[in-house]
A = this chain, B = another copy of it.
Amino acid sequence: MTVDISVLIGGEAGQGIQTIGLLMARTCHRAGLYVMVINDFESRIRGGHSFIQLRISDRPVHGPTRKLHMVVALDERTYGLHQPELTEGGLVLISKDHADTMAQHHRYKMVDFGGVAKKAGSSILANTVAAGTSLALLGAPFDLFENILKSTFNQVEEKRLAQNIQAAQYGYTAAEDETFKWSWPWAVTSPKGRLVDGAQAVAFGALAGDCRFSAFYPMSPATGIIQHLVDMAQTVPLVIEQAEDEIAAVNMVIGAAFAGVRAMTATSGGGFSLMSEGLGLAAITETPIVIVNAQRPGPATGLPTRTAQADLQFVIHASQDEFPRFVFAPGTPFEAFSVTARAFELSERFQVPAIILMDQYLNDSLFVAEESFEAPETVTSYTAADDLENPVGYRRYAFTDSGISPRALPCKGPALVKVCSDEHDEEGHITEDADTRDAMVAKRFAKVAAMRKEIRPPEVIHAGSDILLVSWGSMRGAMEEAVNQLRADDINCGGVHVVDLWPFPDTALSEILEKVTQFFVVEQNQSAQLGQLIRQQTGCQYTDAVLKYNGRPMSAGEITDAIKTKLR
């Protein structure tokens, strides 16, 4: 039997739906299942309507689904809104008696989560009760859940843990007289990899890239990355400073990088706008920095807690004039981890800024990552502090064939390091000379050839198909699932996933795209930005685009429906 169950848990902000989701996800993960948790939160602290989608499967899952098998409604609104989305035979778990106001075409089960929780010791245990009832209905063994509670609450006083276990028990009991159509016999195996969200994966990647300093200004959905860094900073030589604004943040990062530590900042589009000028400063001074832009819908404040992929063209072109930069957009937590570590390494090696495009969906969603997150044994330093032969004649911007000049650090040796945001000569002094300007532009762009070699080609699944779906960043999971669905429906379809976006992998993509009769870009923006870039850089014109930009992540089902319509 194949398990692919989706549970929606909804209620007001502040009711703790995230706790329920997390407990359930951990339980499934521990059982060796694949699981995802996807947030749908409003930009408020209490009230309103928020929900999470929990997808549980015995096969890898990497994207949201439209199928809904169970709704856990902590309030009436959740019932009203989501009950209609339930698959035939689905079940609603509701926390109170709203029978009068409810339509009857779906089965529901009432559990007085709050009341039961009080019996166990406190009404705040209601979430544990709800998780218990839900898990029981899914067929999860109780001791599995108990173990999860033990590891989750291992820091709290024993009494609270005991109460939680009690609440879980009551939750299980409450499920006894109910059956869930898709309940399955849980064969507990060892966990498949790591349960991780994109934000944490970036933070891990930063440490694997030897990040020592981070400055930031809080902005959803980027804050999670910094929060993870803060949580981990207790044990590693990493200083994190909350700046007064994003301009300060990026400039602090540049200052720290200049002085010799690897440094990053994370923000969302609004903050990235404010950092544009600093990006150019990093470029002209050839200071390595990493900027994460966790995308959300705009323009301006837009939808602060939701997802988008609409800043691609912006980050490629941001800041006045032109300069080489790296742009990456990971598609999974593991890619986020490894791309972040690479971004630090490449940024330092080439002395150029690197930008990582995340988004709210990838940042905030929990995934099971099967790849192992390895700490590298060593981290290469590309600075030239110790082995300068002629410190007096040191020139920070000495012309070289590669365009990369030896980078000494200030106050770390006898060489004086001078950097300058004006166009400068080899020594780092302001220049007005036309030839020097030409040479410095050429020097900076000389790096591109070698940078291109570091760009990994897009990954292709089902190469040789007639039709290709092409996506980037966090669309990977849904796109690949859609490809498989389409193939199951006898459509000869493959997929292309682009992570390394700039310098643009034009040759690799041309080779792939020139072979097919049709290709469709799949993106979370309005204007098919990758599609436009492909046309600009390769001359290949996409057949059509599957686009979504209302802030909710696109599911495989939406893609397959759209493709089928377009193919018709």
Q: Give residues in A with beta carbon < 8 Å to B.
A: 42-43, 48, 247, 268-270, 272-274, 276-277, 279-281, 283-285, 295-304, 308, 310-311, 313-314, 316-323, 420-423, 430, 432, 434-435, 437-438, 441, 445, 525-527, 529, 532-533, 535-536, 539, 541, 549-552
Contact = CB atoms under 8 A, between A and B. Distances in A.
A206 B279 CA distance: 32
B318 A310 contact: no
Given A276-B276, A314-B320, A432 B284 contact: no
A321 to B, nearest CB: 3
B320 A317 contact: no
Contacts of A314: 317-320
A535 B529 CA distance: 14
Contact of A322 (B285, B322, B527): B527
A280 B273 contact: yes
A423 B549 CA distance: 12
A546 to B, nearest CB: 15
B535 A539 contact: yes
A50 to B, nearest CB: 9
A48 B432 contact: yes
Contacts of A273: 276-277, 279-280, 318-320
Contact of A321 (B299, B320, B321, B533): B299
A313 B317 contact: yes
Contacts of A284: 298-302
B322 A526 contact: yes
Given A300-B281, A536-B536, A551-B437, A321 B311 contact: yes
A296 B432 CA distance: 13
Nearest to A271: B277
A283 B303 contact: no
Ranked nearest first, the 9 interchain pairs of A and B with the lowest CB-CB distance are A269-B320, A298-B321, A536-B536, A273-B276, A273-B277, A280-B299, A300-B421, A298-B320, A301-B421
A429 to B, nearest CB: 13
B320 A299 contact: yes
A47 to B, nearest CB: 12
B539 A303 contact: no
25 contacts: A43-B432, A269-B321, A270-B277, A273-B277, A273-B318, A274-B274, A281-B299, A284-B298, A285-B300, A298-B319, A298-B321, A300-B421, A300-B422, A301-B422, A302-B320, A302-B423, A310-B320, A314-B317, A314-B319, A322-B529, A434-B552, A437-B551, A438-B549, A535-B535, A539-B541
Nearest to A442: B526
A43 B422 contact: yes
Contacts of A437: 297, 303, 549-551
A529 to B, nearest CB: 8
A308 B280 contact: no
Contacts of A529: 322
A201 to B, nearest CB: 23
Contacts of A276: 273-274, 276, 318
Contacts of A432: 42-43, 48, 303
A428 B121 CA distance: 45
Nearest to A432: B42
A423 B311 CA distance: 17
A267 B323 CA distance: 21
A284 to B, nearest CB: 4
Contact of A319 (B281, B299, B303, B533): B299
